[in-house]
């Protein structure tokens, strides 16, 4: 269960005050204040820290003699051991589960001899040290240091009639930005590192949706999940509405009407024979995209409907005639895919003979 930002801060306080036994007394609050000053004020932020980040944090307590100095080894070790400790446990499910983590459990882990080496990393020199620092980067570090993400690369959704185009563009763009998991309704991070990484990905994608979703329902989805910045749920609810609503049902009916009744010579098609076939296939794809798989047409029925659609054109009708003749001789008939391939080839030949190339100005 994903925590709200406020719950994350409450868990952070629990870890410091009850698990680390770092009270709010002035002499014991240096570590917490140092982290908060660096923007690390939730438990997820702390777990996402690399060793390099831990070593760079400085105390900020005004007026104290330690002000401006890097964390003492004891405080650095406390964070490292807690990160290692959490990797041995199932990811807490909800705020209550996080608050069940006790000082006794943590101390029992700390005194285990097998874990002593976790507190202070081995100091290396030269290239080995550089390689070690690089290997310590967490998934969050890699996400932040990786490609420069650009929200403007994502499409804008302001016309529900263009939902299919918007959805395909979103799903195609997300992997290039490293945030495809936020658009996968079934994705659920399990490890501490994965949860921290997903939190960063959600922040970016939520900002994208705020900019991109400009329909009334799209804005509603964004506002509904504003508190947690949950881009995954916002996109899931938008997808469900677009694919299962009354509007989607009406669109499916329109697609089906076209697929079953269109004819290449009915006067409505102004393009080439090849583009007509591709358009017919696209209408079928759009129909399948917004309907349950149980309602999809069988390959045999799609083949029959496409045969009927191109029947008025003799050059395209010949494929069916040839198949019928082959059937009478006991030969294997074409599958839907094979038929479409042959049909497009015949259409391209027809277009090449009957479509005059456009003249270019000189």
Convert the pLDDT of each residue in 171-212 to its tens digit.
999 998 999 999 999 999 888 888 989 999 999 999 999 999
Instruction: Point out the least confidently predicted range of 39-48, 59-68, 151-160, 331-340.
Output: 59-68
Q: Which of 90-99, 194-203, 298-307 has the lowest mean pLDDT?
A: 90-99
> 316 near 346, Cβ under 8 Å?
yes
Within-domain flag for 184: yes
Is the pLDDT score of 360 beyond 70? no
Domain boundary among the residues 182, 215, 244 is at 244
Residue 222 lies in a domain: yes
In angstroms, the Cα distances linking 101 to 23, 77, 88, 192 are 17, 19, 12, 15
Quote the pLDDT of residue 230: 94
Of 41 and 237, more confident: 237
| Burial of residue 47 (number of CB atoms within 10 Å: 0-12, 13-18, 19+) | buried
Q: What pLDDT is attached to residue 95?
A: 84
Give the mean model confidence (pLDDT) for residues 63-89. 76
pLDDT in tens, 154-180: 999 998 878 888 998 999 999 989 999
Q: How far apart are CA 67 and CA 75, in angstroms?
A: 15
Same domain, 158 and 127: no
Asked whether residue 20 is domain-assigned, the answer is: yes
Residue 255, in any domain of the structure = no
Q: In the chain, pLDDT over 70 holds for what percent of residues? A: 86
Which of 121-125, 150-154, 161-165 is predicted with the least confidence, judged by mean pLDDT?
Answer: 121-125
The answer to whether residues 172 and 234 belong to one domain is yes
Dihedrals phi, psi of 213, to nearest 5 degrees: -85, 105
For residue 118, the model assigns a pLDDT of 52
Q: Indicate if 269 and 344 belong to the same structural domain.
A: yes
* Domain final position from 76, 109, 137: 137
Mean pLDDT of 120-135: 46
Answer whether residue 256 is part of any domain. no
Q: Per-residue confidence at 213, pLDDT binned at 50, 70, 90?
A: very high
Query: For 220-250, how does the pLDDT look when each residue is reduced to its tens digit (9 = 90+)?
Result: 999 999 988 999 999 999 998 887 766 777 8
Whether residue 118 is found in the same domain as residue 9: yes
Mean pLDDT computed over 338-344: 94
DSSP characters over 169-213: HHHHHGGGGT-GGGG-TT----SHHHHHHHHHHHHHHHHHHHHHB
Number of structural domains (the chain) is: 3
Confidence band of 121 (pLDDT split at 50, 70, 90): low
pLDDT at residue 22 tops 70: yes
Of the residues 244, 270, 286, the one at which a domain ends: 244
Residue 27 confidence (pLDDT) = 47
pLDDT at 32: 83
Domain ranges, residue 191: 151-244
Inside any domain, residue 302: yes
Instruction: Quickly state the pLDDT bin for 129 (edges 50, 70, 90).
Output: very low
pLDDT of 67 strictly over 80:
no
Task: Answer yes or no: do 319 and 203 share one domain.
Answer: no
Residue with tokens 């358009």: 279
Q: Are residues 31 and 88 in the same domain?
A: yes
pLDDT at res. 26: 54
Q: Are residues 300 and 222 in the same domain?
A: no
Query: 88 and 10: one domain?
Result: yes
Do both 27 and 132 map to the same domain? Answer: yes
Per the prediction, the chain carries an average pLDDT of 83
Q: Is 38 a member of any domain?
A: yes
Residues 68-75, mean pLDDT to the nearest whole number? 80
Give me the percent of the chain exceeding a pLDDT of 90: 39
Q: How far apart are CA 246 and CA 89, in angstroms?
A: 46
**Is 146 part of a structural domain of the chain?**
no
Residues 178, 76: one domain? no
What per-residue confidence (pLDDT) applies to 211? Answer: 94
Which region among 64-73, 83-92, 98-107, 307-316 has the lowest average model confidence (pLDDT)?
Answer: 64-73
pTM: 0.45
Q: What is the Cα–Cα distance from 14 to 129, expressed in whole angstroms?
A: 35
Judged against a pLDDT cut of 50, whether residue 309 lies above it is answered with yes
* Same structural domain, 80 and 168: no
Average pLDDT over residues 60-74: 65
Neighbours of 60 (CB within 10 A): 16
Strand partners, 58: 70
Q: Do 194 and 223 reside in the same domain of the chain?
A: yes
Check pLDDT > 50 for residue 148. yes
């Amino acid at each position: 269960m994903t925590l709200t930002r406020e719950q994350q801060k409450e868990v952070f306080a629990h870890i410091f005050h009850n698990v680390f036994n770092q009270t709010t007394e002035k002499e014991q609050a240096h570590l917490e204040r140092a982290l908060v000053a660096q923007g690390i004020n939730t438990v997820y932020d702390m777990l996402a820290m690399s060793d390099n980040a831990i070593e760079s944090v400085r105390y900020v307590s005004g007026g104290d003699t330690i002000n401006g100095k890097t964390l003492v080894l004891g405080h650095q070790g406390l964070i490292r051991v807690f990160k290692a400790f959490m990797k041995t446990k199932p990811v807490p499910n909800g705020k209550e589960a996080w608050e069940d983590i006790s000082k006794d459990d943590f101390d029992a882990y700390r005194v285990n001899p097998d874990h002593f080496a976790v507190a202070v990393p081995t100091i290396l020199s030269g290239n080995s040290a550089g390689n070690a620092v690089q290997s310590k980067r967490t998934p969050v570090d890699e996400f932040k240091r990786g490609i420069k993400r650009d929200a403007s690369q994502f499409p804008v959704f302001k016309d529900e009639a263009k939902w299919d185009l918007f959805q395909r563009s979103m799903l195609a763009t997300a992997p290039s930005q490293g945030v495809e998991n936020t658009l996968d309704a079934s994705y659920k991070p399990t490890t501490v590192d994965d949860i921290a990484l997903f939190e960063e990905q959600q922040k970016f994608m939520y900002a994208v949706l705020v900019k991109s979703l400009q329909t009334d329902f799209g804005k509603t989805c964004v506002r509904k999940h504003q508190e947690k910045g949950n881009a995954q749920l916002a996109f899931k609810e938008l997808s469900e509405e677009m694919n299962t609503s009354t509007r989607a049902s009406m669109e499916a009916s329109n697609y089906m009407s076209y697929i079953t009744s269109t004819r290449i010579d009915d006067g409505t098609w102004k393009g080439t024979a090849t583009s007509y076939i591709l358009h017919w296939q696209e209408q079928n794809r759009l129909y399948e995209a917004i309907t349950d798989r149980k309602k999809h047409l069988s390959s045999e029925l799609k083949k029959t409907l496409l045969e009927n659609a191109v029947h008025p054109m003799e050059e395209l009708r010949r494929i069916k005639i040839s198949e019928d003749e082959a059937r009478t001789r006991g030969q294997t008939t074409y599958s839907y895919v094979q038929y479409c391939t042959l049909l497009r080839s015949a259409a391209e030949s027809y277009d090449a003979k009957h479509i005059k190339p456009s003249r270019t100005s000189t």
